[in-house]
């Protein structure tokens, strides 16, 4: 098999190992609930997959549920549940509509009732009832995405502008108990930051929020400024939380797939969090250092890079990472660098990520494209499309960050 074929197989194996069904099943098996009613709320890119499994396990004990996921991530009806699709990474009116339905669902519950709350990445945009106008929130979200703020910085601000983030949804559920099952998409699994922590006490402070706003010189309305001064809940006594998956599992599964194909794998990190193009350049340098290896090797890095927008092109962090690696591995035989988002979507595109090899730079040059210029325009999608460098998986039903891999086949 070719190195590119190996890459596709590694991606498929790693994603299959990280689907949330088994994780949700583990979290619910043997779980004893009180004799009251059970409600289900699921939010995030993996919400449908998680909710579908939970609904099957709960059966007729489930009174009702609301599922809010990204457009095209629903795969049909779920018993006792209403499914909504909304905007991501920028929330829209459908995000708000689904969240309001969830808020209505948990009104007037008793201490005997339980809310099974399924949380996955993307929930910060999809599970939202803003305390500012939708237009103002969309503008701030776009500014945060463009300035290079990381996910923790973004969520520190967003939870203060929301009626459900930062532990506020758990407060709305009270006095009912909340059993939160979390699929982590943030490095280190900070529970108050995943989906902006709707059911977890907030560790960040208003001082943190103001420091981020000043760091990136964000334009805030007077209403936003007032909300930044309102402190978030620091203690919740009606929540039990279980983490069911993370990028560590994704890296481990990818490494195992590499090994099964004859590569000697090394996991470099599961906390990659730099600029995407810097990560690509770094991985290319790793490949170059091992160019003369006498055995097949693989180097893996999991995490979530960021992109600072300097152009108006189309792409995503995984595509930009892969493209940035191309010059560094130019001319190398049987070597690829690929990066893929576990949710199956990379930025505002239909691709899950990108893949390059030793011929990519030459192919781009022949097509009249400069890697440096393409990166400056943030137009990795069109460049990779021109050289068969896009990876497609479709929505996967999970969301545990990204994995980038160097493969050197001998």
Place of tokens 């400056």: 376
**Does pLDDT of 232 surpass 90?**
yes
pLDDT value of position 189 = 82
Please tell me whether residues 216 and 328 are part of one structural domain.
no
Please tell me whether residues 210 and 326 are part of one structural domain.
no
Taking residues 270-282, what's their average pLDDT? Answer: 96
Please tell me whether residues 273 and 287 are part of one structural domain.
yes
Whether 78 is covered by a domain: the verdict is: yes
Taking residues 101-120, what's their average pLDDT? Answer: 97
Please tell me whether residues 210 and 321 are part of one structural domain.
no
Q: What is the pLDDT of residues 131-186, one digit of tens each?
A: 999 999 999 999 998 998 988 899 999 999 999 999 999 999 999 999 999 988 77
Contacting residues for 239 by C-beta, under 8 A, at least 6 apart: 170, 177, 178, 180, 199, 200
pLDDT value of position 28 = 94
Please tell me whether residues 150 and 165 are part of one structural domain.
yes
**Does pLDDT of 23 surpass 90?**
no
Taking residues 287-298, what's their average pLDDT? Answer: 96
pLDDT value of position 26 = 85
Taking residues 307-327, what's their average pLDDT? Answer: 96
Q: Which residue has the higher pLDDT, 279 or 152?
A: 279
Confidence of residue 246 (pLDDT cuts 50, 70, 90): confident
Whether 23 is covered by a domain: the verdict is: no
Region of poorest pLDDT, from 38-47, 91-100, 116-125, 187-196: 187-196
Please tell me whether residues 267 and 236 are part of one structural domain.
no
Average pLDDT of the chain to the nearest whole number: 95
CATH no. for residue 287? 3.40.1480.10
Q: What is the pLDDT of residues 31-53, one digit of tens each?
A: 999 889 999 999 999 999 999 99
Please give the tally of structural domains in the chain. Answer: 2
Percent of the chain residues topping a pLDDT of 90: 85
Whether 21 is covered by a domain: the verdict is: no
Can you say whether the dihedral through the CA atoms of 238, 243, 244, 246 is positive or negative? Answer: positive
**Does pLDDT of 347 surpass 90?**
yes
**Does pLDDT of 243 surpass 90?**
no
pLDDT value of position 57 = 96
Please tell me whether residues 253 and 127 are part of one structural domain.
no
**Does pLDDT of 188 surpass 90?**
no
pLDDT value of position 199 = 97
Buried b / exposed e along 171-204 (16+ C-beta atoms within 10 A): bbbbebbbbbbbbbbbbeebbbbbbbbbbbbbeb
Please tell me whether residues 311 and 324 are part of one structural domain.
yes
**Does pLDDT of 398 surpass 90?**
no
Region of poorest pLDDT, from 183-197, 206-220, 259-273, 348-362: 183-197
CATH no. for residue 225? 3.40.50.10180
Please tell me whether residues 155 and 252 are part of one structural domain.
no
pLDDT value of position 186 = 78
SS (H, E, C) the chain: CCHHHHHHHHHHHHHHHCCHHHHHHHHHCCCCCCCCCEEEEEECCCHHHHHHHHHHHHHHHEEEEEEEEECCCCCCCCCCEEEEEECCCCCCHHHHHHHHHHHHHCCCCCCCCEEEEEECCCHHHHCCCECCCHHHHHHHHHHHHHHCCCHHHHHHHHHHHECCCCCHHHHHHCCCEEEEEEECCCCCCCCCCHHHCCCCCCCCCHHHHHHHHHHCCCCCCHHHHHHHCCCCCCCCCCEEEEEEECHHHHHHHHHHHHHHCCCEEEEEEEEECCEHHHHHHHHHHHHHHCCCCCCCEEEEEEECCECCCCCCCCCCHHHHHHHHHCHHHCCCCCEEEEEEECCCCCCCCCCCEEEEECCHHHHHHHCCCCHHHHHHCCCHHHHHHHCCCEECCCCCCCCCCEEEEEEECC
pLDDT value of position 22 = 79
Please tell me whether residues 203 and 328 are part of one structural domain.
no
**Does pLDDT of 205 surpass 90?**
yes
| Residue ranges making up the domain that contains 190 | 31-245
Please tell me whether residues 47 and 180 are part of one structural domain.
yes
Per the structure block, which two tokens stand in for 16? Answer: 């299959």
Please tell me whether residues 188 and 284 are part of one structural domain.
no
Region of poorest pLDDT, from 27-31, 215-219, 359-363: 27-31
pLDDT value of position 216 = 96
pLDDT value of position 21 = 86
Region of poorest pLDDT, from 181-185, 267-271, 296-300: 181-185
pLDDT value of position 190 = 86
């Amino acid at each position: 098999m070719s190195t590119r074929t190996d890459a596709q197989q590694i991606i498929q194996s790693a994603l299959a190992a990280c689907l949330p069904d088994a994780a949700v099943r583990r979290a619910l098996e043997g779980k004893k609930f009180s004799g009251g009613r059970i409600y289900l709320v699921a939010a995030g890119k993996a919400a449908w997959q998680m909710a579908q499994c939970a609904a099957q396990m709960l059966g007729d004990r489930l009174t009702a549920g609301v599922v809010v996921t990204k457009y095209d991530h629903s795969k049909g009806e779920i018993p006792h549940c209403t499914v909504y699709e909304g905007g991501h990474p920028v929330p829209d009116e459908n995000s708000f509509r689904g969240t309001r339905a969830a808020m209505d669902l948990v009104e007037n519950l008793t201490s005997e009732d339980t809310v099974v709350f399924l949380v996955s990445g993307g929930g910060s945009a999809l599970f939202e009832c803003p305390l500012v106008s939708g237009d103002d929130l969309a503008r701030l979200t776009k500014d945060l995405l463009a300035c290079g703020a990381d996910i923790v910085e973004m969520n520190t601000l967003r939870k203060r502008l929301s009626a459900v983030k930062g532990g506020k949804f758990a407060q709305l559920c009270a006095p009912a108990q909340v059993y939160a099952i979390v699929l982590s998409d943030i490095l280190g699994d900070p529970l108050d930051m995943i989906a902006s922590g709707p059911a977890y006490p907030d560790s960040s402070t208003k001082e943190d929020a103001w420091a981020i706003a000043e760091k990136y010189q964000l334009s805030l309305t007077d209403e936003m400024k007032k909300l930044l001064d309102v402190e978030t809940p620091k203690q919740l006594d009606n929540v039990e939380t279980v983490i069911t998956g993370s990028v560590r599992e994704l890296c481990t599964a990818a490494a195992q797939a590499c090994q099964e194909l004859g590569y000697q794998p090394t996991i470099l990190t599961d906390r990659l969090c730099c600029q995407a193009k810097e990560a690509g350049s770094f991985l290319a340098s790793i490949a170059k250092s091992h160019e003369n290896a006498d055995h097949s090797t693989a180097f893996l890095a999991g995490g979530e890079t960021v992109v600072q927008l300097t152009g108006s092109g189309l792409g995503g962090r995984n595509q930009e990472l892969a493209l940035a690696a191309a010059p560094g591995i130019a001319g190398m035989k049987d070597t690829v660098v690929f990066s893929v988002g576990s949710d199956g979507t990379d930025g505002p595109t239909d691709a899950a990520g990108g893949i390059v090899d030793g011929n990519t730079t030459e192919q781009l040059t022949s097509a009249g494209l400069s890697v440096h210029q393409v990166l400056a325009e943030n137009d990795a999608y069109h460049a990779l499309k021109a050289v068969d460098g896009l990876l497609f998986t479709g929505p996967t039903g999970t969301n545990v960050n990204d994995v980038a891999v160097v493969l050197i086949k001998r």
